[in-house]
Structure formats: C-alpha cells, structure tokens
C-alpha cells in the first residue's frame, strides 16, 4: 500500500536542493531521496578546482551561451539571475568574487563550506534527506517505487514529484542516466544522452604523445565551421582537453555524427595578426635550426611547433606566408569525444516539448523535471550551475502553482 507524502524530490544535486529550499520556505513538507550515500557529490567534485558558481558577464550575452535552448530557459534565467545566485551564496555566509576571466567563485574557492551551510539550512527548514534510496520507477497504480539500502521496497504517493536526477556524466558520482528508460516507458521523448564539455580524441604520433602529453597550449583560438573560441587547452595522450575545446562540444559532436570525424583548426598565435606574423617569419634565419627559428621569430613553444608537425605529417613550409597561414590555422582530425564517464556535463535529455512552462511533464501531471535531465547544454564558465539552480527554482514554483491551482488551470 502506498504511503502518502507531500512533495518528493528525487536527486540531491544542486537542482534538487535549491528546489527543496524554495518549497520548504513556502511551508511545504519536502523529502529528498538520493541513491548515493551523501548528497551533491558532483557538486563537490566541481569545487576541487575552485567552485565556479556563475559568470559576471552582461545577462544578455550570458543568455546566448545556451544556444538553441535559450528560448525555453530564458524565463528561468531571468527570474533567478547570476546576481541572485551570488546573493544566495552570500546568504549562506559564502562571499563571492569575480575572477580575471569574469567567472564567479566563493572566496573559499571550495564547494564543501557552502554545501555544509546549505544542508544545515535545509535541516532547519525541516527538509528530510534520505540517502541510499534508489528510485526504480512507478508501480501499477502510479506510486513512486524505491529500493532502500537494506533491500526493502518502499512505495510513496506524494502530491507532487520533482525529478532532479542529473544527466549521465561522471556516473560514479550518481548521475548515470538510469532514469531514461523509466520515462521512455511512459512515452516521454528523450534525446540521446551524449558527452558535453568533454575532451577530444586525436591520433597523435607516438613521439609527440610521449614528449608533450600534459603540456598546455596558451593564447590559442580553436574553430570548427563557423564557430571559434579563444582560450587554452592541454595536450593529453589521447587528444586535447580544456575550456576552449569544451566550448565547441556541440559542433564537434555534430560533425562527428555527420562525417565520422571533425576537422578542428588551431590558431597558435591568436594574439598576433597574420601580416605581423609574416613579417616576423621573414627575418633571416641564419644558422638557427628551424625549431629554434620558430621559437624565437614566432614565439612558439616546442609544444606548438610539435602541433604544426602533427598537422602536416612532419614537414613544415619554409616560405613565410605559407608558414604564417599554417600557424594561424593548423588543422587536426578529431576522431571522437571522450565518453560520458569523463565528460563535465551531458547533452541530450528530455525534450522541451514534453514539459510545460512550469517544468511539469505533460504526460505525467504532478511530475516535474529540472536541471541536466533536460535537453540543453552550455559551456563551462558558470553557465552549467546557473541553469541547474534556475530551473530548480522554476520547477519549485511550478510545483507551488500545481498545489494551489486546479490541473486545468496549471495546464494552461
């Protein structure tokens, strides 16, 4: 027999936790069910390198970072803005600052102090957190089914449910996409879950790989088709990692799906125009080796010279114009992207057509979804967390509306 409850949130990441906070503040009884032993594990991992909460850029430009998903996400992002997120963090005693790149971090530069304060607040609000509670779907009468740590089965029938189970990246931390079959069985359309903000695979030569794996590429621009980004990357044994690569995840993924590979170009001196570079390369070489000449005349580090050789198969043009063009557009073949087990985030998910403006599933009245379960992606830089928080708030507001209005009203 199903046990009646008020509101159940499944998933204790940032999306579920912020929704729980909003609902509890409105006086609702909220229980969070989390299959892992502790909450927000991926959030904590993100904080190991400095918790990038959001970004300080102008909101109008900020919104463009969400690409095709902007139209649906914009109301939520305008309701809970980057400044709202900063104010919320400071309300927990975690002051924030803007880094040199415009990214926003807590002054502690860590996730754990913020999470501890957050969980304490949720406890004070009466939110219940149940760990080791695995959601397995619905029973024949529509009750939520859970398997507990001791193997016991539990059925719960809340007045409203929020699914905040994340995407499928870093599955060992809890978000493994295991919810997709349950929703597809209910007729919900879900785009294939794929890696986003992930490294790319390039078939480096053994010599280059052994010599340069782990070396950074700085002051570069990277492009594919009509899109390009400036920033930094790191050579790995299997290819390239880094923010400038992550920002092109979508076009790289689409090119690989269409052609089986992606032709990625790298400008190894993005801070210098081609004409100026030609002038530098027209200087007499004298008795210098070609590598020494490139290092001095073009200010290219050995790793960048190595990339040029990888792009051409070894030989480099001596003529200044051709050499400058190569430095400004060294083309590499990407054969794949790193898998979901190492991707920062997930592309694909529940189609926006499946949910109404309150983030409720049209096929499952009273069931709401938010965060990375939805079909959107964004680059690193604070955009991922911002949208997880904003959609969590939006779904919580949708639940409040559902509980105070008739189904006919909310559907409109």
Task: Summarize the confidence of residues 98-111 as an average pLDDT.
Answer: 94
Nearest to 387 by CA among 30, 78, 39, 44: 78
Q: In the beta sheet, which residues pair with residue 374?
A: 350
Split at pLDDT 50, 70, 90, the class of 2 is very low
| Domain boundaries for CATH 3.50.50.60 within the chain | 3-195+345-411
Split at pLDDT 50, 70, 90, the class of 1 is very low
Nearest to 234 by CA among 220, 223, 224, 248: 220
pLDDT in tens, 355-398: 999 999 999 999 999 999 999 999 999 999 999 999 999 999 99
| CATH code 3.50.50.60 for 3-195+345-411 | yes
Residues of 190-212 as b/e, b for ≥16 C-beta within 10 angstroms? beebbbbbbbbbbebeeebbeeb
136 within 8 A of 110, measured Cβ to Cβ:
no
Is 27 or 4 the better-scoring residue by pLDDT?
27
pLDDT in tens, 294-315: 999 999 999 999 999 999 998 9
Is 405 or 210 the better-scoring residue by pLDDT?
210
* Per-residue pLDDT at 3: 37
Nearest to 236 by CA among 263, 209, 261, 211: 209
pLDDT in tens, 168-183: 998 999 999 999 999 9
Split at pLDDT 50, 70, 90, the class of 406 is low
pLDDT at 263 over 70: yes
pLDDT in tens, 19-46: 999 999 999 999 999 999 999 999 998 8
Contact partners, residue 313, CB within 8 Å, separation at least 6: none
pLDDT in tens, 48-74: 878 999 999 999 999 999 999 999 999
Percent of the chain's residues with pLDDT above 70: 97
């Amino acid at each position: 027999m199903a046990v009646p409850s008020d509101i159940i949130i499944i998933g204790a990441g940032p999306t579920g936790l912020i929704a729980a906070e909003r609902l509890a503040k409105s006086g609702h009884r909220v229980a969070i069910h989390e299959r892992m032993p502790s909450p927000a594990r991926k959030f904590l991992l993100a904080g190991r390198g400095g918790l990038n909460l959001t970004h300080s850029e102008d909101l109008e430009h900020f919104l463009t970072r969400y690409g095709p998903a902007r139209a649906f996400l914009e109301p939520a992002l305008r309701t809970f803005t980057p400044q709202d997120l900063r104010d919320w963090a400071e309300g927990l005693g975690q002051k924030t600052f803007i880094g040199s790149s415009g990214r926003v971090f807590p002054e502690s530069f860590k996730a754990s102090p913020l999470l501890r304060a957050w969980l304490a607040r949720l406890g004070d609000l009466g939110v219940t957190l149940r760990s080791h509670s695995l959601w397995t779907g619905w029973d024949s009468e529509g009750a939520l089914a859970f398997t507990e740590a001791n193997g016991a089965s539990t059925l719960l029938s809340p007045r409203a449910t929020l699914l905040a189970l994340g995407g499928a990246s870093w599955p060992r931390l809890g978000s493994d996409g295991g919810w997709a079959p349950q929703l597809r069985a209910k007729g919900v359309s879900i785009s294939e879950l794929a890696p986003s903000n992930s490294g790319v695979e390039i078939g480096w030569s053994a010599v280059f790989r052994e010599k340069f794996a782990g070396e950074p590429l700085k002051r570069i621009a990277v492009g594919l088709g009509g899109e390009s980004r400036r920033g930094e990357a790191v050579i790995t044994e299997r290819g390239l990692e880094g923010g400038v690569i992550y920002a092109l995840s979508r076009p790289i993924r689409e090119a690989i799906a269409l052609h089986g590979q992606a032709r990625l170009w790298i400008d190894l001196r993005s801070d210098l125009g081609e004409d100026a570079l030609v002038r530098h390369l027209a200087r007499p070489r004298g008795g210098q080796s070609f590598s020494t000449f490139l290092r001095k005349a073009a200010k290219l580090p050995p790793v960048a010279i190595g990339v040029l050789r990888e792009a051409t198969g070894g030989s480099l043009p001596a003529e200044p114009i051709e050499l400058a063009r190569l430095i400004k557009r060294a083309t590499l073949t990407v054969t794949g992207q790193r898998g979901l087990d190492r991707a920062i985030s997930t592309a694909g998910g529940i189609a926006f057509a499946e949910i109404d403006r309150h983030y409720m599933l049209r096929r499952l009245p009273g069931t709401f979804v938010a965060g990375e379960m939805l079909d959107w992606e964004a680059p690193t830089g604070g955009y991922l967390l911002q949208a997880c928080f904003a959609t969590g708030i939006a779904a919580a507001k949708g639940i409040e509306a559902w509980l105070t209005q008739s189904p006919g009203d909310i559907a409109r």
